[in-house]
Amino acid sequence: MKIAQLLPTTLIDYPGKVAALVYTAGCNFRCPFCHNSELVLPEKIETMQLIPEKDVLYFLRERGNFLDALSITGGEPALHDDLPRFIKRVKQQGLLVKLDTNGSRPDVLEELFDGHLLDYVAMDVKGPATRYSELAGVRVDLDAIRRSIELIIDRAPDYEFRTTVAPTITPEDIEDTVELVQGAKRYFLQTFVVPEGKDLVDPTWNEKSALSRTELEGVWERIKGNFPDGGVR
């Protein structure tokens, strides 16, 4: 596993749980609005000092009495061939595991579900099918995205889908995105915020405007009947 960062404690990443959070390095998408460019762009990853997997596992053992779970995010964790093995070692320590994914590797999700290795899955849905490749910054296999959505709805013990409403995404785009996650129990719209000191994958997107939280709440009012749970973050 290429582990770039370890956050010892988070109370917001795994709903209702005290979790640690690891960030994996590397991603197969190039979303221009992504603010984790250091985890995405190869030239930045090359300069990073990665954290040995054994150090993370040691930390989890030492903090086991204080933690409920480990959340794994990226980058795109499903790109790492040793992800199932790593999660097995985490589960052996009695921790729940949450995975954040872009849904591009349904084969990996299926393997993880077959092994009962995931307790919560959060999938980022980039936008409507007609704009998916544009928003992901690469050519996307939409069949793989749809397959991941189906797997998560059918097999995840708990889950959420979420769309970061990046610049250029319109209310109509959001309404069209609902078609991709139809039947899901939980969907969130996330406001677009660039944390201080972070660089976007494509800096020119700093100049583009995004919908405000108030505007998103108006859109949510129109689509919330499609989901038992969710809202605006």
Q: What is the DSSP string of 101-113?
A: E-S--HHHHHHHH
CB 94 within 8 A of CB 118: no
Q: What is the pLDDT of residue 181?
A: 98
Could you read off the pLDDT of 187-228 as tens digits, one per residue? 999 999 988 888 899 999 988 999 999 999 999 999 999 999
Domain enclosing residue 98, as ranges: 3-232
* Closest to 89 in 3D by CA, of 121, 53, 124: 53
| CATH number of the structural domain spanning residue 213 | 3.20.20.70
Residue bearing tokens 């872009």? 102
Could you read off the pLDDT of 91-137 as tens digits, one per residue? 999 999 999 999 999 999 999 999 999 999 999 999 999 999 999 99
Count of domains observed in the chain: 1
CB 4 within 8 A of CB 23: yes
Neighbours of 24 (CB within 10 A): 24
What's the pTM? 0.96
Residue count of the chain: 233
Which amino acid is located at 60 in the chain? Answer: L
Could you read off the pLDDT of 145-156 as tens digits, one per residue? 999 999 999 999
Q: What is the pLDDT of residue 198?
A: 87
Question: What are the tokens at 158?
Answer: 């708990």
Q: What is the pLDDT of residue 194?
A: 87
Could you read off the pLDDT of 163-196 as tens digits, one per residue? 999 999 999 999 999 999 999 999 999 999 988 8
